[in-house]
Amino acid sequence: MPRPSAAQLCLGTFTVVASAVALLAVSGAEGVLEVGVLVVFALALGTLVTVLSSVSARSSRVPAPASPGHEYARQR
């Protein structure tokens, strides 16, 4: 699997931070274990976003069409 681009890493990092802040704010978790579980969940979500954006970017690439000169060279 190819390495994610800088934009995909930034998207994943933003997802981790935003989801961790949102989960901690909404849940009101105070214990170390509760906070740890929420942070691990946010990390898993950010990793999933990075992988899915990498896969979708790879599948949306369209191969460049061959130039007409290459087809002529193959016919000979």
Element (H, E) at 8: helix 6-27
Q: How does the average pLDDT of the chain come out, rounded?
A: 83
CA distance 63 to 76: 24
Q: What is the pLDDT of residue 23?
A: 93
- The pair of three-digit structure tokens given for residue 51, joined into one six-digit string: 């992988």
| pTM of structure | 0.71
Taking only Cα atoms into account, the Rg of the chain, rounded to an integer number of angstroms, comes to 21
The tokens for 60 are 């949306």
For position 21, what pLDDT does the model report? 94
42 Cβ neighbours under 8 A, 6+ residues apart: 15, 16, 17, 19, 20, 23
